[in-house]
Structures are given as C-alpha cells and as structure tokens.
Chains A and B, each alone.
Chain A
C-alpha cells in the first residue's frame, strides 16, 4: 500500500483556493455594486421575481442584484442565522415578528431619508411599517380578504351572486340564508330543508381561514377591536367582537354551512375547494386570484358579508433594507423597483395588489394593473378588489402596530380561536380566557 500523505492530497486544493481568492480580488475592482436580495414564494413567484431581477440588472449596469430564494418554511430560520452571523442580505422580505424588534434594535435601515416623513401620502396606510421613530418601509405588495365563489353552484341553487360593491354587501342574515341554500348533503337536501343530514355534507356554503384574516374583518365590521389603540388591552372579549366570533362559530355548529376550519397549509385551499364544488363561497386573500385564474372554472369575486359596516382588512408583509448594507442607495433603487407594478408581472398575474394609492384612483393605472393580462382579474374586480381595498379598510390589523404580537397570538389568541373553531367553548368564554392570558404579554404599541 502507498504511504498516505494527507498534505500531498491537500496541495492541489490549496493551490486552487489561492487562485480563486486571487481571481476574486482581481475581478472585484471592476465589478458593479452587489446587492443581495432574499425572498420567498412559490416556484411561480420565484420565476417572476427572478425575471424582474434580470431586467433590473440589465437596466442598471452599475448594480448587480443577486436573488436568494428561500422557501417559506425555513425562511425566518435562514435570515435569523444570517443576521446572527453578521451577514444579513441587503434587501429582504421579513415577517412582522422579526421586522419590528429588529428595527427597534437598529438592524433595519430607517427609510425616512428615502421615502420621506409621510409615505402615507403616496402609499396605502396598511403597507407602511413604523417601529417608533424608525420607518421600516413598505410591504412588498398588498391584498385584501374577500369572497370567491363558484358561479355554477350559485346558478344551480338559484342564489344571487355575492355583490361586488361594498355598498351592496349582504347583511349577515341574508348571507346565512343563502349559505344554507348552497349547503347540500349527500342526498341533495339543502341546509334549510327538512331531513338535512349535517353529518354527511357534500357541499358547504362557505369556508374561511383559521388565522386572523378569517375573523378580523367581521370583528371590525361589527364595531369590535382586537386591542385598544394604546396597545395595553386586548379587546376581543368586548360584546361586538364576541358577537362576530360567535356568529362565525354558529356557521359551523348551528347552521352547518361551514366546515370545521383546519390548519390549512398543505390542504386544499379555497381555489381547489371551489373548483371541486366542495365549497360555494371561499373567503380568502386577493392573492389567490392567480390560482383561480389558472384553474379556469366559472368563478367570481365579491365583498364579504357585513355585520354593521362593510369592512375588510389589508394583508401585507414588510420589505426591509438591513442597516448593515454597504450600498443603501443602490439597495433602495432595487427596493422600489421590485414593488413596481410596471416592472414585476406578479401584479397583473393576480398575486399582488399594488401599494401606491394612485393604482387605486387613477383609471389608467388601475387598468394597467387589472387589465394587464386579460382573463386574470374578473370584471367585478374594480369594485370587489380596487374600491374595497381603498375605501373599506379603515383599521390596521394588530400585526402593524401591536408590540409582542407574536407571543400574544401564539400564547393567548390562537389557543382561544382554536377552541371557538372546534366548538369546545363559546366565543364569550374563549375570548375571556384569551384576555386573561394576554394581559401579562401586552406591552403597548410600536
């Protein structure tokens, strides 16, 4: 056997490494400024974002953006690790749970010098994130919670389509009556007929998500609040909020028109449930338009039923520039580019709604977004999406401003909401427990 000399084996490697380092430092002198951009999303999103990055790089020879796609599951872990290692990306999507505390610790670049003191003039207020004095920035895009429906099921049941104009939103009683007509058991009996079997339901009238997007619109619509404006008190136990949550629970256990909400990741989402005629009305986010458009069945969008006022919520996610960036000017250049509806196809493809106000008021801009790709947004979108998002979203969900929202949600609110959805506790008892558990966790507002 030949004698083994570990050093001999390593020698070529060392040579190669030295060469690589030398080449890299030589090349660096002529290189454009490099910006690392971390983002998440499906394969479809990745493709469009990468296309936008390539177009940006082609138009900006002095900047080279390197996209780093990280799958949703594992995203926070990876960004956290990068920050811990002192090597965060320059630009990134970042969950609220991290964005606010990290901004408070000075890890996120204050965008006031770039966006001005009053970005609310240009942007919808539910896409502007501030942690105290620091302007974290805007969201990557926006989307409202609305009602999707399968027209064939409505036609067969002889029920009018959910209205697209907020001013014509169904009252709760109307909504429940229609949902009953749309809910069918295996023998074809509907929920408002004698002999209906709630244990063998084939088509449900309505489904809604388990998270706050599924219940906050109704709490707000009924005049309720999640927490007091000073962030010192959870208000889900107040009569208006309790009534709204109780009405949602009753959809499942009293009227039998909604399936038990389940943790829906990995399970069929509204688009599939509607297409397969398991559900007639699917309450979900505007970002599902792209999935519905791809399925090409007979669907439409409408506004949510109201309790008192027609209200929905805007959902967004912060997009940040890390304070550690060496090139803030170039990073901001890209920061603006990647949320520009004229540059990124995801808007006209039905995944993102813009966050500049002018896209909701200027007919030419609305058309560029909504009609940009024919066959994606249904015609009623101008009411059910554009007007609904601009004029019927008066309240910012707590993720925009409540401190310690992550623990308040995980330790107090979600367990209580679980019990409401599972029917183990009434809305009154469950929310009372939530308030009790949340009280020590409330720390005011950002």
Chain B
C-alpha cells in the first residue's frame, strides 16, 4: 500500500531539480530546522534503526521472551531452509505480488488516463475512485469479508442473479490469492494520483507532433504516453512491489493464513511465529530473510531501470 510519504516523494521526484538554495544564514534558523527535522531523525534512529539491528542479534538467539536467551549461531537460519511453511509462505507472497502488482498498476494507469480526459464531473470521478484508499486496509478487509461470504455475500448474490454457481472466494484454497488480488485493485487510489501527475507532465507538443504525423490514439499512447511515464511507472512498480511483499492485514483480518495455508503471507507467518508461538529468534530470522529479498528485488528493479526508463532531462 502506498503511504502518504511515498506520494510526497513521487510528487517531488519528476520535477526538475531546483537550483541549490543557500544554507540558512541565521544560526537561529538552523536551530529551528534541527528542531523540525529532529523528531524524524530521532524516530528513525531509535524506533527503526535500533530495532532493525536488534532484530538481527535476536535472530541469532533462541529468545522466546520468557526464557533467558542464548546464542544459537545460524540455527534459526538452518531451520528456515527445512521449514515447509517458510517455503509455502514465500510462494504465496510471490504469487500474490506477481499478480497484484501488474493488475493494480494497469488498473491505476487506466483510471488515471480516463480521469485525465476533460470530462464533465472530472473532479467528482477522481474523488470517487480515490475514496476507497482513504479507508484503512482493515476496514476494507472487513467490508470485502462480507462481499466474499459464500452464503450471504454480495458477489455470490450477483453470480446467482446471472445464473452462475457459487464461488468460495477467499474460503477456497485455489481462490484465496486470486480473490485478494481482485481486492487489491480496490486500493489503487494513490497509484492513480501519481500516474495522473505523471500524465499531466507529458508535454502537449509531443501529442501534437504524433497527430501531425497521422498517428492515432494507440500511437499516441505507445510512443508518447508510455515512454514519458516510465519514471512514474518505475516509482509505482518499486513501491507497490515492496507493499505487496509486505502484505499482512488481509491474512490477519480475513483468512487467518488459510485455508490450508493458501494465504500464509510471509509477514503473517513472521507475526504468527513472533506472537502466537512467541519464538522471537526464529521470527527475526524470517524477517531478515524477507528484508534481504525485498532489498534485492528493489535493487534489481532500480539497476535494470536504465534500460527502459526515459528521463526527459537525459538519463540519470
């Protein structure tokens, strides 16, 4: 899920770099700056960096909260290699990310393009499509839980009306992840806004050039919109991949990781190990593996991006 932070970064990203400002001349101003930046830096150091480092140390122990921890070396990481559920959760997470990321990006782009048209009620539609994203995931999860209910839910009522048999949605092993992918499309609001911002940055002159050359709508999309949007696409891709790999709420609220572990997302498995099984050592080891995976994927995406991302001001 995209956070407000991410949107700010995105909004800032495509703009040309402003000329370097002078440092605050006044010492008092510097103190004020430190005061305002302070909480963020402090928060990062003490509530993120320290726990992250601590979790690495914990991953090397057999800490279960109640016991006196002792170092067990790489035992937690060895257990993980032989852990059926670790591999299962890795597969589930990859499966979900592989479908929800492209699906929600395509849908967000489509919406953004529709909402970029000069239509009556444009602002109203923009608001409507953004609205679901205002709700916390936990709220939409409960809402969708009702819609997915096989016996009382809206979706099966619709299927019944057109004469189709009942589907079991998140309650069947095969249906759980596809249903959650379907649900993820509901949350494309922030991505849509970023695409919309990207679309508005595409110079009109380029479209006019295509028109003069006799290109239609498809050519305009293929040769202007898409290339000009690649930086935005890269950004959305990285952020939503990270978000998808960290999916938790859906399994926590809706499926409890089931049925038959079909929605056992990695973060949910980490949570379960840490707080139901209270095995902090093993949970930390799992968390570190996920961290390394996410870092590696993000690195690969950014590293290969110069092959397909086009920056107006030349490659960076």
The residues of A with any CB-CB pair to B shorter than 8 Å are 1-6, 76-77, 80, 83-84, 97-98, 101-102, 105, 107, 199-201, 204, 259-260, 262-263, 266-268, 278, 406-407, 410-411, 414-416, 418-419, 421-422, 424, 437
Q: Report the minimal beta-carbon distance from A257 to chain B, rounded to whole angstroms.
A: 13
Given contacts A2-B28, A422-B173, contact A267 B149 (CB under 8 A): yes
CB A121 to nearest CB in B, in angstroms, measures 30
**Once the chains are docked, how many angstroms separate the CA of A1 from the CA of B278?**
54
Q: Are B260 and A415 in contact (CB under 8 A)?
A: yes
Q: How far is the CB of A203 from chain B (nearest CB, A)?
A: 11
> Known contacts A80-B65, A80-B278, A415-B258: does B26 contact A262 (CB below 8 Å)?
no
Decide: A267 and B66 in contact? CB cutoff 8 A. no
Which residues of the other chain, A, contact B87 by a CB distance below 8 angstroms?
A: none
Beta-carbon contact of A98 and B278 below 8 Å: yes
Give the Cβ gap from B97 to chain A, nearest Cβ, in Å: 22
Give every chain A residue within 8 A of B220 (Cβ-Cβ): none
Kindly state the separation between the CA atoms of A366 and B275 in the bound complex, as whole angstroms: 39
- Inter-chain contact B145/A407, CB cutoff 8 Å: no
Known contacts A263-B254, A266-B253, A422-B259: A83-B66 contact under CB 8 Å: yes
A263 pairs with B256, CB closer than 8 A: yes
Write out, one digit per residue, whether chain B residues 187-230 have a CB within 8 A of any chain A CB (1) or not (0).
00000000000000000000000000000000000000000000
Q: Closest CB of chain A to B119's CB: distance in Å?
A: 38
- How far is it, in angstroms, between the C-alpha of A90 and the C-alpha of B258 when the chains are bound? 35
Q: Specify which chain B residues have a CB less than 8 angstroms from the CB of A102 in the assembled complex.
A: 65-66
Q: Is the interface of B mostly helix, strand, loop or mixed?
A: loop
Flag if A4 contacts B28 (CB, 8 Å). yes
Least CB distance from A104 to B in Å reads 8
B166 interfacial by beta-carbon distance below 8 Å: yes
Q: Is the CB of B65 within 8 A of A199?
A: no
Chain B residues whose CB sits within 8 angstroms of the CB of A407 once the complex forms: 277
Residue from B173, B256, B278 in contact with A419 in the complex, judged by beta carbons closer than 8 Å: B173
Partner-contacting stretch, out of B7-15, B29-37, B106-114: B29-37
Residue of A nearest to B34 (CB): A6
Chain B nearest CB from A194 CB (Å) reads: 21
Q: For chain B, residues 67 to 107, give those with C-beta under 8 angstroms from any C-beta of chain A.
A: 67, 84-85
22 contacts between A and B (CB under 8 A): A1-B28, A3-B28, A6-B31, A6-B35, A76-B276, A83-B66, A97-B278, A101-B278, A105-B66, A199-B166, A200-B160, A263-B254, A406-B277, A411-B85, A414-B258, A416-B260, A418-B258, A419-B173, A419-B259, A419-B260, A422-B259, A424-B260
Q: Once the chains bind, are A105 and B276 in contact (CB under 8 Å)?
A: no
Report the separation of the CA atoms of residues A422 and B171 in the bound assembly, to the nearest whole angstrom: 8
In the assembled complex, the Cα of A5 lies from the Cα of B26 at a distance in Å of 13
Note all chain B residues with C-beta closer than 8 A to A83: 65-66
Interface centre among B65, B160, B168, B272 (most CB of A within 10 A): B65
Residues of chain B within 8 A of A422, CB atoms compared:
168, 171-173, 259-260
| A102 and B27 alpha carbons, distance in the complex (Å) | 55
1/0 per position for B255-269, CB-CB distance to A under 8 A?
111111100000000
Asked if B23 is at the interface of the complex by the 8 Å CB criterion, the answer is no
Question: Is the CB–CB distance between A267 and B146 below 8 Å?
Answer: yes
List chain A residues, Cβ under 8 A from B277.
97, 406-407, 410
Also in contact, A278 and B151, with CB within 8 A (given A4-B35, A101-B278): yes
Name the CB-closest residue of A to B38. A6
Residue among A199, A421, A422, A437 having the largest count of chain B Cβ atoms under 10 Å:
A422
Q: Does B150 contact A (CB under 8 A)?
A: yes
A267 to B272, CA, bound (A): 22
Contacts known (A259-B151, A267-B146, A419-B259); A410 close to B272, Cβ less than 8 A: yes
With contact pairs A6-B31, A419-B260 given, residues A266 and B145 touching in the complex (Cβ less than 8 Å): yes
Is B18 part of the binding interface, using a Cβ–Cβ cutoff of 8 Å? no
Give A369 Cβ to nearest chain B Cβ, in Å. 33
Q: Which of B122-148 contact A (CB under 8 A)?
A: 142, 145-146
B50 CB to closest chain A CB (Å) equals 15
For residue B257, which residues in chain A have a CB less than 8 angstroms away from its CB?
410
Q: How far is the CA of A259 from the CA of B152 in the complex (A)?
A: 10
- Could you tell me the distance between the alpha carbons of A82 and B166 in the complex, rounded to whole angstroms? 46
Question: Which chain A residue shows the least CB distance to B30?
Answer: A4
With contacts A419-B173, A422-B168 taken as known, whether A84 is within 8 angstroms of B65 at the C-beta atoms is yes
Pick from A101, A107, A200 the residue with the most CB of B within 10 Å.
A101
- Please determine whether B160 and A266 come into contact, CB atoms closer than 8 angstroms: no
Please indicate the chain A residues that have their CB under 8 angstroms from the CB of B66 in the complex.
Answer: 83, 101-102, 105, 107
The 4 closest A-B pairs by CB, nearest first: A418-B259, A105-B66, A4-B31, A415-B260
